[in-house]
Structure formats: structure tokens, C-alpha cells
Amino acid sequence: MNDDAAGGPTVLTADPTVEPRPDAETALVTGASSGIGNELAARFAADGSDVVLVARSGDRLREVASAFARRHGVAATPVRADLSTAGSAAALAETLDGAGLVPDVLVNNAGFGVYGPFTETDGDEEATMRRLNVETPTRLAKRYAPGIERRGGGVLNVASIAAIYPSPGATVYGATKAYLLSFSEALAEELAPAAQVTALCPGETDTGFMQRGGMADAGIASGSLLDPADVARAGYRGFRNGDRVVVPGWRDRLRALLKRVLPRAAAVRAAKRTWTQ
């Protein structure tokens, strides 16, 4: 049976089925079927958290949920949902409410990029990207932050190194991630000390992101790529340690530092070379 068909959010079944535990932390992870999202979900499951796995690919989600349940003995609930559509965040929350699933931790990982000169990229595709990268994580945080604050949980937003400086060649994508970083840092201050908020800002990572965003031939894809497991490990550790911003890898920490010391125009020119060379 193919569960990748279009439609509203749907709670799927996986084998084996482990019932959610009232005393366990529950982490809701979007974009959990592959890449950084999958690795982050694995980190939470390995530490004993029940996980709610959200992505468009239902069949793949079943496999991931089953593997987590067998390996870690946690409740792993797959939920098929396309969070790039209008109203999808509210629909997801309603579906989780109906299933009695209440997250203590929200991991906003789902997202994609659009690469190319701004005058040539597809405006409708960028509108979809803005909805997924900006509106969905904001609405999910709005829905769940009050409960997360009461229960001492947290929010982990997957941004990007592109959030730290403007990104010619990925103009709108960089802007969406800059929003997510600013949003995360402000929300962290609002919820402190009751709850933790972390922005994970990885550089170019070896996932399907490059192909989805049309970036396979971009300059950023020509260098060494980070391993998604390493990115997730750094992000998870920073989240548990109370870090508000995590930049994995020495190369990208250096890039972030240069943004602070270079004149703004010089930093943008350097970013342009990174994306387009």
C-alpha cells in the first residue's frame, strides 16, 4: 500500500506498535523521514523519548517508526502530512489532538530551498517555500509553546548557516532562515528559563536538500558536505546543553565569525562567491 498520496494529515500505523507512555517526553519532529530530521528523531528516540514523525512520505515514515520502536522500545508514531500547504499546521495540530499526542519538544526541521537568480526563480515555488520554512514552524510554535513552557520542554528549529548572512543565489531561502534564527533567539529569551529554544544552523549537508532546491550545480555543492548524523549530534547536544544557537563544524563556525568582523558588503560578496562559484 502506498501511503504517499495527497490529503490531510493522517496518523499511520507501524509494526511493532508501542503505546505512548504518560511519563515519557514526546518529541514532534517534522521532515523526519530522511536527512537531518531523521537523525534528530533518532537522537531523541535513543535517549528514550517517544517521537511523533511527520513527513509527506508515508511509506518511509512507517519504516522509520518501526525501526525506532524495535531498536529503542519507544512509541514512534508516523503522521503523513504535507506542511507546505495552507492550513496544514492547524490541521496537523488538530490531528495530533485527536490522537491524544501532546509534544513536549517541537523540532521544526521540514523545509526546502530555491536556488538561482531572484529575477529567474519561480515565485510560486518561493511562496510555497516561505510557507514551509516560515509560516509552518511559527504556527506550530504558537500552538505548542504554551504547553512546552508549562512542562519545561523546548523548541529546536533547524535554520541554516544562510541565516547568518544574506545569500545571493538563494535570496529568498536565506531570508526565510534568517527569520527562523531571529524568531528562535527572541523566543528563547521569552520562554527562559522555563523552556529551551535552540536554532541549529548547519552549513551544506549531504542530504536530498541540494536536489530538491535545484542546488546540485551550485558552488556550495562542490565542496565537502557535512554528514547529517554529525549535524544532528551537534544540534541535539546543544539543545540539551541549553545553547541558543548551534553552528556545527569548524568551517561554518569560521564563516559565522567572519560575518561579525567583515563589513556587511564584504560579507555579502563573500557569500555570493560561495553560492555561485
User: What backbone phi and psi angles, to 5 degrees, belong to 103?
Assistant: -75, 140
Catalytic residue among 115, 144, 173, 236: 173
Greatest CA separation for the chain: 56
Catalytic residue among 115, 144, 177, 236: 177
Round to whole Å and give the CA distance between 81 and 263.
43
Name all contacts of 87-94 with Cβ < 8 Å and 24+ positions apart: 88/9, 88/136, 89/135, 89/136, 89/139, 89/140, 89/143, 90/139, 90/143, 91/8, 91/9, 92/9, 92/54, 92/140, 93/140, 93/143, 93/144, 94/9
Is 177 catalytic? The answer is yes
Beta bridge partners of 199: 157, 245
- Residue 89's alpha-carbon distances to 43, 181, 202, in angstroms, are 24, 20, 24
Is 165 catalytic? The answer is no
Active-site amino acid positions: 173, 177
